[in-house]
Amino acid sequence: MQFIPIKTRPLLPPKDNLFEVLDTYVTDVQDWDIIFITSKILAIHQGKCIKATEINKKDLVEQEADKRIRTDVMPGKDTYLTIKNNILIPSAGIDESNANGYYILWPDNLPTFSKEIHDYICKKHQVKNIGIIITDSTTRPLKWWVVGIWIYAYGIQPLIDKRGVKDIFGKALEITQVNVVDALSAMAVYLMGEAAECQPIVIGRNIPWIEYADTYTFEATKIPPENDLYRPLLKPLME
């Protein structure tokens, strides 16, 4: 199993060209590869950047978040706990690092855009079965500080269903589904780095147990609110 970070030029806000970067730096793609791309460069490609002097960050977070969690704990300046796209993430994913005075939002239309990237890479490199995983960093309860996660994927099944599979003592698993995309994204984002590494793309190769599917698979990861283990903690604090 390999994770191959791709060093690129910086993509510059407020708008830049992702496909030019893919053409220039992503030169070796093979069938069964998984391409990890940080959400930031997708957002810059879409022009989802706002000058920090033009809006108050708290107002922008409230505008972008689906839900905001009420809390008095703010470990960083203007850092708010929110839910966006069914993901618990600080400040609705709005980023100020490597942003040159801009707030960089999450990209729009991820189902359509991730498929567009998938199809573009497949056509250019003459491959059929690849996965696209869009990544970001978030926090975890009771842990310092950030870890990589996925925010969208196309071309692979995000879960491995182990329900009914027997453990080493013959007991059938009842609820276990392995979150493949978060597990892999943690390593990919680790290699991308959080500062000046300029490695916003990582190629995963020879990764076992992946099921490829030319479909939209995000919905398969959502838990109905009534079944969510953490709902009793979050619901009373949602705004």
Determine the pLDDT at residue 171.
Answer: 95
Q: What's 10's domain CATH number? A: 3.30.1330.100
Q: What is the pTM of this model?
A: 0.93
Residues in contact with 85: Cβ distance below 8 Å, sequence separation at least 6, in sequence order: 66, 106, 110, 151, 152
| Total domain count, the chain | 1
pLDDT at residue number 38: 98
Indicate the SS3 state at residue 50: strand
What's 195's DSSP letter? S
At residue 228, the pLDDT reads 86
Mean pLDDT confidence for 6-34: 97
**Mean pLDDT, residues 28-35 taken together:** 98
- pLDDT tens digit sequence for 103-134: 999 999 999 999 999 999 999 999 999 999 99
Domain span at 114: 2-237
Is residue 76 very low, low, confident or very high in pLDDT (cuts 50, 70, 90)? low
Q: What tens digit of pLDDT does each residue of 34-69 get?
A: 999 999 999 999 999 999 999 999 999 999 999 888
* DSSP for residue 162: -
Say whether pLDDT at 142 is over 70. Answer: yes
Phi, psi of 145 (to 5 degrees): -125, -80
Determine how many CB atoms are found less than 10 A away from the CB of residue 53. Answer: 7
Report the pLDDT value the prediction gives residue 41, as an integer from 0 to 100: 97
Average pLDDT over residues 225-238: 81
pLDDT of residue 120: 98
Q: How many CB atoms lie within 10 A of CB 151?
A: 25
**Long-range contacts: 214-223, Cβ < 8 Å, 24+?**
214/155, 216/111, 216/115, 216/154, 217/153, 217/154, 217/156, 217/157, 217/158, 218/110, 218/111, 218/152, 218/153, 218/158, 220/157, 220/158, 220/159, 221/86, 221/158, 221/159, 221/179, 221/181, 222/86
